Amino acid sequence: MEIRNSLAQLRAKRGLGAAQLAAEVGISRQTIYAIEAGTYVPNTVVSLKLARVLDTTVEEIFQIEPENHVQTETAEAMVLGTTESMAPGQALRLCSVNGHIVAVPTEAGGWGMPPTDAILVAPIHGGKRNANARVQILGDGWKNSARILIAGCDPSASILANALQRQGCELVIAYENSSRSLELLHEGVVHIAGTHLVDKVTGKTDLLPITKLFARNSVVVISYAIWQEGLVVAQGNPKRILAISDLSRKDVKITNREPGAGCRRLLDDLLRKHGIDASQVKGYDRITLGHLPAARLVHSGEVDCCISTQAGARALGLDFIPLAQKPYHLVVRRTLLNLSPVQTLIQALGHASFRREVEACVGYDMRTSGERLA
C-alpha cells in the first residue's frame, strides 16, 4: 500500500510556512518538505504533533492509497505445437491470422530470454497439437499489422526474419515439418507455409499435397531455395558413415524425423531403394522434431547420425554426406498475397544481399529465390 498526504494543502489553508510548522512540531523544514513530497513517512509522535498544530486529525493529513490492481489481460489462443509438453509460464509469440490469435512457443537462446508477447496460463484442451489455450497477454505489440506468421522447417528462416525486420516487418516462425505446415495453412492459422516435399521419381516439386488440400488457383507457390539433404555425422566422421547402407550397421545409431517431414520421406525412400528394413536401423523409431534439434543430438554424441539438411550440419560444425538435392518452396493463399508484409517478404527473396547471406551461412542455392512457380 502507498500513503499519500494533504500536508501542503492543510498548511497553506492554515497560513503556516514550512519553517513555522517545523518549529512548532520540533522537526526541520527539510523534513516538512520531504513529508509533503511523499519521500518520508513520519512516525506516530510526529504525525500526532502535526495534527495538533494544524487542528485536524492524523487521518485527514495521511491517507492509505489502495493498491492498484492491474487488470491482467487474458485471451484464448490457438497454440501451435504439442501443448501437453508445455507448462504454465511457457513464453509465447503471438500473431493475428485471419481473425485468430495464434501463439507460437519460444525457446531461450544463448544467455537471454527470447522476445515474448504472452505466457501460457493453461491449455484448454491439453495433449492435442495446436490446442486452444488460455494465455496472459503482456502487451499489444503482437497486433502490429506488419507481423506475419510462417510455418516451416528451414533453419535459415531467422535470416529472413532479420532481413524483413530491416524493412519494418516482423516474421514469427513456427517450426513445423512440410506436411504439417501445409495443414496449418489450410486451417487458416498461418500466413505462409514452407515445404520441401518432392516427387519420388522426378525430384520435381510434388504439388499433390497442395492440390489435395487447396482448391485450384487458391494458393501461390514461390521458390525459396534449393538445398542439400543427407546424413549429418560428427566432425571428422569417426564412424566412417558414407552411405545409406551404413545405417544398417550395428555400431551406428541414428535419430529420425517425424512422419510427414521431408527428410523422413527421403530416408524411407532410400531405405526401400536399397532393400533395407527399418528394423535394421538402430534408432529409426526415435523421433526428433526439427533439423537443428536432430543435428544437436549428433553434436552431443548421443547419436551417430541423423538425416537433415546441410544447414543443420553447418550450424554446428558437423560433417555432411549429401544424398539428394531438393527445392524448398513457400506457399501462400491468394487471399493473403496482397498483404503488405507478405509482399515485402516476396520482394526480399529477390534481393541480392539476402541471397548472398543465405548462401554464405547455410550453403543453399538461391538463384531461383522469389520466382513464382504456381
DSSP symbols for 252-319: --EEBPPTT-HHHHHHHHHHHHTT--GGGSTTTT-B--SHHHHHHHHHHTS-SEEEEEHHHHHHHT-E
Question: Under a CB-based contact definition with an 8 Å cutoff, are residues 313 and 322 in contact?
Answer: no
Give the three-class secondary structure for 62.
strand
Most confident of 72-76, 128-132, 208-212, 369-373: 369-373
Q: Which residues are bridge partners to 254 per DSSP?
A: 305
Does position 201 have pLDDT exceeding 50, yes or no? no
137 sits in which H/E element: strand 132-137
Residue 162 in grid coordinates? 532479420
Tell me the backbone φ, ψ of residue 323, rounded to 5 degrees.
-120, -30
Mapped to the 3 state alphabet, what secondary structure does 87-136 carry? CCCCEEEEEEECCEEEEEECCCECCECCCCCEEEEEECCCCCECCEEEEE
pLDDT of residue 187: 92
Q: Tell me: the pLDDT tens digits for 280-314?
A: 999 999 999 888 889 999 999 999 999 999 888 99
Fold of 70-143: Beta-clip (2.40.340)
pLDDT at 200 over 50: no
- Across the chain, mean pLDDT equals 88
Task: Considering the chain, tell me which residue range(s) the CATH 3.40.190.290 domain(s) occupy.
Answer: 148-374
Which tens digit of pLDDT belongs to each residue from 261-289? Answer: 889 999 999 999 999 999 999 999 999 98
Average of pLDDT values for 53-65? 89
Give 57's DSSP letter: -
Q: Using one digit for the tens of pLDDT, what is the confidence trace for 89-107?
A: 889 999 999 988 999 998 7
pLDDT at 70 over 80: no
> Taking 60 as the threshold, does the pLDDT of residue 259 lie above it?
yes
Section 186-205 average pLDDT: 74
**pLDDT tens-digit series, residues 138-175:** 988 888 889 999 999 898 899 999 999 988 899 999 99
Provide CATH 2.40.340 ranges for the chain.
Answer: 70-143
pLDDT at 132: 84
Alpha carbon separation from 374 to 79, 201, 202, 222, 331 (Å, rounded): 30, 20, 18, 7, 9
What b/e string do you get for 223-261 counting C-beta neighbours within 10 Å, with b at 16 or more? bbbbbbbbbbbbeebeeebeebebbbeeebbbbbbeebb
Distance CA 257, CA 247 (A): 15
122 or 23, greater pLDDT: 23
- Residue 203, pLDDT score: 45
Strands 100-105, 74-79: pairing kind: parallel
Under a CB-based contact definition with an 8 Å cutoff, are residues 210 and 331 in contact? Answer: yes
> How confident is the model at residue 279, as a pLDDT?
94
pLDDT at residue 65 is higher than 80: no
Instruction: Give the DSSP H or E segment for 63.
Output: strand 62-65
Residue carrying the nine cell digits 493453461: 122
State residue 143's pLDDT score.
87
CA dihedral 353, 115, 156, 230 (to 10 degrees): 160
The mean pLDDT value for 3-25 works out to 90
- Please give the single-letter amino acid code of residue 29: R
Calpha distance 359→225 (Å, rounded)? 9
The confidence band for 202, taking pLDDT boundaries of 50, 70 and 90, is very low
- Which CATH number does 148-374 carry? 3.40.190.290
Q: Are 191 and 102 in contact (CB under 8 A)?
A: no
Q: What is the pLDDT of residues 109-136, one digit of tens each?
A: 556 677 899 999 877 765 556 778 889 9
pLDDT confidence bin for 69, thresholds 50/70/90: low
CATH 1.10.260.40 location in the chain: 2-65
pLDDT, position 1: 57
Three-class DSSP category at 350: coil
Residues 320, 232 contacting (CB under 8 angstroms)? yes
CATH of domain 2-65: 1.10.260.40
**What is the CA angle 91-294-104, rounded to 5?**
20
221: part of which helix (H) or strand (E)?
strand 219-233
129/350: higher pLDDT: 350
